[in-house]
Amino acid sequence: MLIFVDIDGTICNITNGQYKDSKPIKENIEKINKLYDEGNTIVYWTARGAVSGTDWTETTKNQLEQWGAKHHDLRMNTKPHYDLLICDKTKRIEEIE
């Protein structure tokens, strides 16, 4: 299964654009790592920099590595900034065991 995972507010705290100050939510990273270990393809997809135009790629790559967040790909600068996503295929991190 191909699974796209948001970063801010999902595997780390929300910092209102101060991404260098992000702190990992270890139990949520463990949930995603379990999905990875079960053979799923994990792609982290973030809107970091979508509004400001700042390229947060290196910071984000370093954070994922430091936090031990297993993944196959990181997609930056392509996710739209939105306030609400309505989709039949979405799950909140709290719904994942």
**Average pLDDT score, the chain:** 94
Kindly report the pTM of this predicted structure. 0.91
Q: Which domain range does residue 40 map to?
A: 2-95
DSSP-derived secondary structure for 42-78: EEEE--TTTTT----HHHHHHHHHHHT---SEEE-S-
Q: For 11-15, 45-49, 52-56, 78-82, which range has the lowest pLDDT when averaged over its residues?
A: 78-82
Domain count, the chain: 1
In this prediction, residue 77 carries a pLDDT of: 84
Summarised one tens digit per residue, pLDDT across range 26-53 is 999 999 999 999 999 999 999 999 889 9
Question: In CATH, what number is assigned to the domain containing residue 52?
Answer: 3.40.50.1000
